Structure 1
Amino acid sequence: MSTVGYGQKATYVGQTVAENRGVLVTSRPINNGIVTDWDAMEHFWFHMYYDKLMTPSEEHGILHTEPVDNPPANREKLIELMFEQFGVPSTALVTTSTLALYASGVTTGLVVESGFDETRVVPVYEGIAYLKTERMPVGGRHVTQYMIRLLNDRGFNFTTPKDWDIARTVKEEQCYSALDFQRELAESFVGAEEFVKSDSKQYRLPDGSFVQVRSEAFRAPEILFNPGLFNIESKLGGVHEIIFKALTIRSIDEYKDMPNNIVLAGGNTLFPRLQTRLENVLKSRIIANPERRYAAWIGGSVMASAPDFQRQCISKDEYFEHGTQIVNSKCFM
């Protein structure tokens, strides 16, 4: 990290940013799973190696996750930094979709990844992710934003970064997917009064007041099925519809087992009852592992522990012999 003045860091990474977000100018090096700020990404990697892992980058190979549509130029830039700047002995790039399947113990299936920025459906056959994916522009941040709008409609004033953190906590602790949205919405009112469930927690706001979630608990996640509720345009509709399209437009034999291997991955799939609702709508088996927020990491640990993993990696010697283009011929999972 560079410094400016006495005892001041020019760049902060990780928890320090979260704790001081109200007084810092923040940026995200990754958007929609793709690195868009390489300078910030370098700071992140230095923080990872020397502040958190406290191990020299030159001593260990590294497996990187990537989205299936990661541009070739980005892949080449990544391995260039790894070998030239960090001096790693070897590296590999594997799609998050493939790793999510590995975490579930299968190598062929349809992966439904819903993260911070978006939701995508990726077919994977024998460990190879297909570039053709279905997606919609709804992710965890949109559910949080919709939660804030719904709470503000009740008279609250969620505007600050701290308010965002509270809304995110409310979402993660209280929200669930309604099995029958219209019925639950009707049942959430007794006359003109909105019903508050007995297990609904109260959350203290910075001004000392309290908020208790009501129908927002199931209305906020509903944008996964109906993005239009939050004025989000999705050409293919909700998550169930993009899954259905991914299943029905395929005609080759490779897809015949996919309806029984639909795997949920990402933190935005953790809402209670989401698995059941998708199974009811799609009439398919949905695999929803409890640790699916970390599905790519778990799958990566499984893959990196395999005896033949090193054969999938790019070594330092290979990099300096063939250049950055080797990543596009050797790393294709």
Structure 2
Amino acid sequence: MNQFQFNFEFDQYYYERDYYQALVFDNGSGKMKVGFSGDDAPRAVFPTVVGRPRHYNVMVGMGQKDTYVGDEAISKKGILNLKQPIINELITNWDDIEKVWHHSFYNELCVAPEEHAILLTEPISNPNLNREKITQIMFETFTVPALYLEKSQLLSFFFSGKPTGIIFDMGYSSSRACAIYGGNILNETVQTFPIGGKEIYDNFELILNNEKIFSYYLLDFFQSCHAKFSYVALDFEEEMKKNQNQNQNQNQNQNQNQNQNQNQNQNQNQNQNQNQNQNQKTLKEITDLYGYGKESEEKINEKLGINKFKIPEILFKPSIIGLQDIRIEDTIINCILKAEEELQKDLANNIIICGGISEIKGMKERLEKEIEKSRKLNFKPNIIEIPLRKFSSWIGGSILASSPLFENLWIARSEYDEFGPTIIKKAI
């Protein structure tokens, strides 16, 4: 393994148990991340969505399945009703999440669930009834041999290797900050910011969709690596001025070039039209077959323009989308101030950001600037960007579930058979 070094041999460790390598499921509102413990990254990442046909007669010749999950559902969204079984981090549709888990076991990982222990992530606010329902489905429907639930924020912090600090998890539907001390979440410090990746992705997708040349695969590619095409401005007003000046200069140069080359362009119109048709066809082939290419990246950059930094500004100016009197930096500041005074300096010195949109360029610098500008803390904030932070929760689970020190924390099937779903309270 590249990222992690363990002081034991996996083969020997798992041979001594009654089941094979443990699985890790990170249940995200936007994306499911699933894979094997001990791996450096999830084996599969797909949208947490289930689709059902709007009209079954249009499905003739397409297998006529009752449900579609993940990428397949999104790719057929024109003829399906799509639902997300996880809303604001909480499971709200048990039939659909069961289909997502079934898809994860049998289609993505191609394993028999009865042969693998499983660690699942859960939100800080997960009610006991939800925890018991998850436990019941895993033991009774999928007959797993062992189970463990852990808070996704705690797993992300575990991956960072820090003993004390703040985890700011910039999730799909919202963002959460919490303080962690001695391996435990300090519940009194938990703060929620109501904007997450969905707001950012939806606004970017709206722009790309309006161009009417982008396939689903390209949009999914963009969501997977949006940080490549977007950034957070350190000073939004200055960035706007700079771009306006650049656009004025470009327009002047373009007008001069058009006047100079007008005759030449007229002679080449016919050839250009032919080439344009061919180029559009080639772009469509690239995006449909591979999801992206050099041409696709250039098109995205061209079409986004100032939106590359204007849309992420929603995080720092929620009033743009009608949310008043909230600020992203206050989420972190209030989290720190809710902790005991003697912990606050250490917490401010170890602010770890994670989640997909935390990878947008300039996020660390802008957050630090806004926190300092508020003057609500008596010490300078230090924001830490951990590697692979869009997978940090899954990776933390991978490390934990593969450690022999974790062995006595699993809830075994024999315990479930004796105590039923309430056994999960043991893991709190």
Normalising by structure 2, what TM-score?
0.67
| Identity, % of aligned positions | 32
Residues 267 and 251 of structure 1: CA distance in aligned 2, closer, same or farther (over 3 Å): same
Aligned mates of 1:178, 1:147 — CA distance in 2: 16
Pairwise CA distance, 1:201: 5.1
Matched, 1:263 2:352: yes
Q: Determine the structure 2 residue equivalent to 1:145.
A: 202
Aligned mates of 1:92, 1:280 — CA distance in 2: 39
Q: Determine the structure 1 residue equivalent to 2:9.
A: none
Q: Indicate the RMSD between aligned Cα atoms, in angstroms.
A: 3.2
Aligned mates of 1:83, 1:156 — CA distance in 2: 46
Q: Determine the structure 2 residue equivalent to 1:182.
A: 237
Q: Determine the structure 1 residue equivalent to 2:318.
A: 227
Matched, 1:118 2:167: no
Structure 2 counterpart SS, 1:187: helix
Question: Structure 1 or 2: larger helix share?
Answer: 2
Residues 166 and 318 of structure 1: CA distance in aligned 2, closer, same or farther (over 3 Å): closer
Aligned mates of 2:199, 2:413 — CA distance in 1: 41
Aligned mates of 1:94, 1:172 — CA distance in 2: 28
Matched, 1:321 2:418: yes
- The 5 A counterparts of 1:152-301 are 156=210, 162=216, 165=220, 168=223, 171-190=226-245, 193=248, 202-203=298-299, 212-233=303-324, 235=325, 237-282=326-371, 283-301=380-398
Structure 2 counterpart SS, 1:176: coil
Normalising by structure 1, what TM-score?
0.85
Counterpart residue identity of residue 201, structure 2: T
Counterpart residue identity of residue 176, structure 1: Y
Instruction: Please tell me whether the aligned partners of residues 64 and 93 of structure 1 are also in contact (alpha carbons under 8 angstroms).
Output: yes
Structure 1 counterpart SS, 2:136: helix
Q: Alignment partner for residue 19 of structure 1, among 60, 69, 75?
A: 75
Aligned mates of 1:194, 1:84 — CA distance in 2: 67
Residues 326 and 108 of structure 1: CA distance in aligned 2, closer, same or farther (over 3 Å): farther
Matched, 1:74 2:130: yes
Residues 38 and 189 of structure 1: CA distance in aligned 2, closer, same or farther (over 3 Å): same
Matched, 1:86 2:142: yes
Which contiguous aligned blocks of 4+ residues in structure 1 show a shift greater than 6 angstroms? 1-6
- The 5 A counterparts of 1:123-134 are 123-132=179-188, 133-134=190-191
Instruction: Please tell me whether the aligned partners of residues 350 and 383 of structure 2 are also in contact (alpha carbons under 8 angstroms).
Output: yes
- Based on CA coordinates, which of the two structures has the bigger radius of gyration? 2
Q: Determine the structure 2 residue equivalent to 1:306.
A: 403
Counterpart residue identity of residue 64, structure 1: L
Aligned mates of 1:27, 1:194 — CA distance in 2: 47
Instruction: Please tell me whether the aligned partners of residues 201 and 213 of structure 1 are also in contact (alpha carbons under 8 angstroms).
Output: no
Counterpart residue identity of residue 362, structure 2: R
Instruction: Please tell me whether the aligned partners of residues 227 and 357 of structure 2 are also in contact (alpha carbons under 8 angstroms).
Output: no
Pairwise CA distance, 1:244: 1.0
Instruction: Please tell me whether the aligned partners of residues 89 and 315 of structure 1 are also in contact (alpha carbons under 8 angstroms).
Output: yes
Pairwise CA distance, 1:225: 1.2
Counterpart residue identity of residue 306, structure 1: S
Structure 2 counterpart SS, 1:308: helix
Aligned mates of 1:296, 1:195 — CA distance in 2: 44
Pairwise CA distance, 1:59: 0.9
Counterpart residue identity of residue 203, structure 2: Y
Q: Deviations over 1:212-249 (max 9, x none)?
A: 2221111111111111112234x5x2221211111123
Aligned mates of 2:327, 2:133 — CA distance in 1: 34
Residues 195 and 277 of structure 1: CA distance in aligned 2, closer, same or farther (over 3 Å): farther
Aligned mates of 1:193, 1:166 — CA distance in 2: 32
Aligned mates of 2:250, 2:168 — CA distance in 1: 33
Q: Determine the structure 2 residue equivalent to 1:207.
A: none
